[in-house]
Amino acid sequence: APVEVKKICCIGAGYVGGPTCAVIPHIQVTIVDLNQQRIDAWNSDTLPIYEPGLDEVVKAARGKNLFFSTDVDKAIEEADLIFVSVNTPTKKSGIGAGFAADLKFLQLATRRIAEVAKSSKIVVEKSTVPCRTADAMRTILEANSKPGCHFDILSNPEFLAEGTAIEDLFGPDRVLIGSLQTEQGLSACQSLANVYANWVPRERILTVGLWSSELSKLAANAMLAQRISSVNALSAICEATGANIDEVAYAVGKDTRMGSKFLKASVGFGGSCFQKDILNLVYLSESLHLPEVAKYWRAVVEMNEYQKSRFANKVVNTLFNTITGKKIAILGWAFKKDTGDTRESPSITLANHFLTEKARIDIYDPQVTESQIWLDLTDYGDIPAEPIKPHVKISETVEEACKNAEAIVICTEWDEFKTLDWQKIYDNCPRPAFVFDGRLILDRKALTDIGFKVISIGTGDRI
Ligand code: UDX
Ligand code: UDX
Ligand code: ADP
């Protein structure tokens, strides 16, 4: 019979580990992290990440069945099941630099489990990882385990999207669990399935082989990103012809074979997953000697880069081919609305582009902290801040950011940008007053009536 999971440990208290474990009912869950500051924040009134609904869920469970700690070893020892949810960034140097995932954090965590565990454990990989990582984890665990200790490895990729994490976790489209198809593997798979069955309908819990599970995560993200690159590629055609990308996407999405979600043209996709996972897929394809497949997926990322630079160039061209010394307001720094996460945010690319053109930028975001914006602008300290400081301002309000701006650029689709007092903003801008809608959220007619020149992604000038 499958082991009943009574205690869970989650290694890694980040965007994935924190919310994922916070929604688990009844079972004792301890989330551990090496980063003391992060754990302190999880234990405080100001959680380290912003997610709608997260505060309520954490406050209801914390100290009851949910605990945050830096005592990694103790939590490993006590647990029957361990989620490994550490970061797996793209490698910056060495073999596969710029493409392959850096698995050092994952391997360190795996080694720790092997060293500390005194009883058998189910080890679950939750971080997005290249195919066959589970195999590597198994080898490390088996080579380092104590007699009598058995480890079962499961792959259980997380599909939550930031901004809707809590909703996604309480009502997932599916939960995917991959295991070895041995008696032991299938039994471990059932143990984890039983944990989810506390709140997820059984028919939504899919069980597959380890490799299928690992590849499904990369495939899902690659195909989602591909839809955005496809719609963004079409947006360029719209701008050149007079077609309207929202109308095109609506018409296309009405086909039930296609579906209407994830067809919103934008300044480009961001986030910690899409680019990283596609590059992983590219790297995997190349190592499997499938260069045509690699080329196909790489084009999705290239189209995204093109979309960002195309939009930045459009701003420069529209402002009569120079933005030197001009003030540009950037509205939104997060990679999407309802999160404070800025990883791979298109805003960063645009800001760098504007700074290279010697513009002055004024940034507003309702959730991102000033210190985070500086980390992003300096590539976490790799670029000196001093030279750009005179050209960068970070504002507390939209009005302040937009005051005297020669261009207002919407980069994130925050709801509050839809209901701004645009007349008041217009009154404080020089003429002509340009608004660039990188998210297609503004009422074009209302703004044009006020006097703004509105330039949107995927809308031709010949209306
Ligand atoms: C994504 C996947 O959706 C999720 O299943 C996976 O677990 C992690 O990666 P996330 O990156 O958090 O989630 O957000 P998502 O909503 O997918 O948006 C990613 C990027 O695409 C954002 O920059 C968003 O603005 C952009 N996007 C999304 C578009 O430009 N157009 C769309 O139609 C949808
Ligand atoms: C297509 C469009 O579906 C239709 O809306 C349009 O009006 C005309 O073009 P059609 O070419 O008749 O229709 O058939 P379709 O069912 O789309 O199949 C096209 C090809 O794709 C076939 O060779 C089919 O075998 C293949 N296909 C389709 C797959 O290989 N896999 C699939 O999942 C679906
Ligand atoms: P994700 O978006 O995948 O959740 P994050 O970077 O937000 O990524 O979170 C990963 C967390 O994992 C970080 O807080 C990091 O400190 C933690 N971490 C990395 N390696 C270890 C380890 N060996 N033991 C414990 N925590 C770790």
33 CB near ligand 3 (under 6 Å): yes
Specify the residue with its C-alpha closest to ligand 3, atom 19.
86
Rounded to the nearest whole angstrom, what is the distance from the C-alpha of residue 458 to the centroid of ligand 2? 27
Say whether both 363 and 450 belong to one domain: yes
- pLDDT tens for each residue of 2-45: 999 999 999 999 999 999 999 999 999 999 999 999 999 999 99
Residue 461 banded pLDDT, cuts 50, 70, 90: low
Say whether both 229 and 189 belong to one domain: no
Say whether both 304 and 405 belong to one domain: yes
Specify the residue with its C-alpha closest to ligand 3, atom 8.
87
Say whether both 146 and 251 belong to one domain: no
The complex's ipTM?
0.95
User: Does residue 205 fall inside a structural domain?
Assistant: no
Q: What is the mean pLDDT of residues 370-381?
A: 96
Residue ranges of the alpha helices (H) in 208-244?
210-241
Say whether both 337 and 433 belong to one domain: yes
Structural domains counted in the chain: 2
Rounded to the nearest whole angstrom, what is the distance from the C-alpha of residue 252 to the centroid of ligand 2? 15
Q: Which residues approach ligand 1 with their CB closer than 6 A?
A: 158-162, 221, 224, 228, 262-264, 266, 269-271, 273-274, 335-336
pTM for the model: 0.95
Tokens for 184, please give them. Answer: 């032991």
Say whether both 257 and 402 belong to one domain: yes
Say whether both 278 and 315 belong to one domain: yes
Rounded to the nearest whole angstrom, what is the distance from the C-alpha of residue 239 to the centroid of ligand 3? 42
161 CB near ligand 3 (under 6 Å): no
Say whether both 170 and 289 belong to one domain: no
Rounded to the nearest whole angstrom, what is the distance from the C-alpha of residue 270 to the centroid of ligand 1? 7
pLDDT of the residue at 96 = 86
Say whether both 256 and 189 belong to one domain: no
Tokens for 353, please give them. Answer: 């582009």
Q: Which helix (H) or strand (E) holds 39?
A: helix 36-42
pLDDT of the residue at 299 = 98
- pLDDT tens for each residue of 184-242: 999 999 999 999 999 999 999 999 999 999 999 999 999 999 999 999 999 999 999 98
Residue 1 banded pLDDT, cuts 50, 70, 90: confident
- For residue 302, what are the domain limits? 224-456
Tokens for 212, please give them. Answer: 């299928």
Say whether both 190 and 234 belong to one domain: no
Atom index in ligand 1 nearest the CA of residue 344 equals 23
The sign of the dihedral angle between the CA atoms of 27, 33, 36, 37 is: negative
Residue 4 three-state SS:
coil
Rounded to the nearest whole angstrom, what is the distance from the C-alpha of residue 122 to the centroid of ligand 1? 30
pLDDT of the residue at 129 = 77
Catalytic residue annotation: 273
User: Does residue 137 fall inside a structural domain?
Assistant: yes
Ligand 1 pocket: which of 228, 248, 365, 441 to mutate (most atoms <8 Å of CB)?
A: 228
> What does the mean pLDDT of the chain come to?
95
CATH number of residue 298's parent domain: 3.40.50.720
Specify the residue with its C-alpha closest to ligand 3, atom 17.
12
Residue type, 311: F
Say whether both 137 and 252 belong to one domain: no
Residues 6 or more apart in contact with residue 136 via CB below 8 angstroms: 103, 107
Tokens for 302, please give them. Answer: 């290239």
Residue 101 has pLDDT above 90, yes or no: no
